[in-house]
Amino acid sequence: MTSISYLTNTLLPLHIRRFRPSLSTLSCSLASDVDPTPNSYFPKRGQTLELVCESLAFKGKGLCKVTQTGFVVLCDRALPGEHFIGRVTRKKGNYAEVTKVKTITPPRDIVDAPCVYAPYCGGCKTQNLSYEAQLRAKEEQVRDLLIHVGKFSLQHLQLHAVLKPIVPCRIQFHYRNKMEFSFGPQRWLPKESLQDRIVDDDTNENYALGLHAPGFFDKILNVDNCLLQSHPANKVLAAVQECWRDPQLGFSPYNVHSHKGFLKHLMLRTGRDVTTDQPEVMVNFVTSSYKPELLKFLVDKVSVFPEVVSVINNVNTSVGNTSVGEEEYTLYGKSSITETLRGLTFQISANSFFQTNTYQAEVLYKLIEDCAGVKGDDSEIVLDLFCGTGTIGLTLARSVRHVYGYEVVPQAITDARLNAKINGIQNATFVQGDLNKIDENFGKNFPKPDIVISDPNRPGMHIKLIKFLLNLRAPRIVYVSCNPATCARDLDYLCHGVEEKNIEGCYKLISLQPVDMFPHTPHIECVCLLELQ
């Protein structure tokens, strides 16, 4: 199965190698703390360099060039147009990674980030870049990956208007319906704040509840308010922060090194009551053991909010960092919350998958429906791959003969069947199975589809599944991707084939529509329409 390491070691260098370096990118005077012009074209670890950020690349890192040589490096939190000093931290083949030391000239389109945690939190790396510039950067990244990884010519993309302008997100803050915060025994502080630390490291006041500091699995940035989650969820977070450190309550945060402690995670999910359209909040305390009497104070504290209709306790006894428990208990209210999407009602349990941005999911699913181009005469068969809880397939089921959905997660399949029942949909069949491990028997238990929907996770589709689709030869494929790099690779395979494996492509890329699902983050969603040649 394709992994993220494959992306960083293969796709990313390929993408970067296409940027042909010039020997004089900019004629700027060198800063005094920059090393003299390097003897070698390839910089060394620890070397300081003068850099200019040209664009944003994989995971939102700045793609930069050394001003003296044009050698390409990546820098976290560097923004387009920024002229800065960077220190080389890693050297990887044809590119290097640097850490920003200081800015010489600020980026183009810079704005003031409204969140106080933006300089340190890993969630909103581009909050200080204007939203219009964020959209341009994401659109450029998709275009470059289509050309350099997908092997589609720029002339072809422009001539046939294949690449569409990115769809912006109307709501740029408070759009997330799910956030997960972690408890920790010692809060992480940025270097500039360490001198202000007056709290004894051994006191409860140094406990943290928040988000992981970028690059650390064991360091927590304490967060009192997150501008990405809903207002009711922020009220719950503030209420928990107000009291959980009180030593008289007996709470202890989980220590990932000693594997001791009670509180692991606080997960907050927001939905809507389908009758009143008012927000519903689920509070999920993930703990290392089941002690409802200990949690009672926190349950009482958060249940006073009228929006809180469910308090859940997931018990996770493993040493891993997952929030999914081996056991689940309902401590207050309902065991699930509801949400509506494209006119359908969905039950959302503590660990079920649901699109994180409900507002933009409406836009995304409308685009998928338009790409699918269903006739509406109840004659077509839809194959819904990586169906999750059935949200996409169920929105199409009203206009087709039958939907067959496949998903590896058993709980997701259970939720998909429940969602079909809730909405009175009887022409949808959901099957649990690993699409990365299909054999020659796959496809024999459903009729040939007219439309295939494929919505894989970040690693994209396994070559076995791509070979199956090429042999299946469905008239239309709607490929929905949360990773434009693996998306471009899979489009290349489906359209151009894989010569070294004697695989011939048989599809034509009709359109690719980027969608901004998560403003201020590097994530990009793409909806692609392919038609059989």
Q: Which domains does the chain have, with CATH numbers?
A: 47-108 (2.40.50.140), 178-341 (2.40.50.1070), 357-532 (3.40.50.150)
Parallel, antiparallel, or unpaired for β 62-66 and 327-333?
Answer: unpaired
Q: What is the pLDDT of residues 237-250, one digit of tens each?
A: 999 999 999 999 99
CA atoms within 13 A on the CB side of 371: 29
Higher pLDDT: 45 or 401? It is 401
Tell me if 386 is assigned to a ligand binding site. Answer: yes
Query: Does pTM top 0.85 for this prediction?
Result: yes
Q: What pLDDT, on the 0 to 100 scale, is given for residue 1?
A: 37
220 has a pLDDT exceeding 50: yes
Q: Which of 482, 487, 495, 526 is catalytic?
A: 482
- The identity of residue 372, as a single letter, is A
Sequential DSSP letters for 228-273: TB-HHHHHHHHHHHHHTT-GGGT--BPBTTTTB-SEEEEEEEEEE-
- State the average pLDDT for the chain: 89
> CA dist 521 to 77, 208, 267, 423, 517, Å?
11, 24, 20, 34, 9
Tell me if 407 is assigned to a ligand binding site. Answer: yes
Q: What is the pLDDT of residues 310-344, one digit of tens each?
A: 999 999 999 877 888 899 999 999 999 999 999 99
CA distance linking residue 121 with residue 169, whole number of Å: 21
482 as an active site residue: the answer is yes
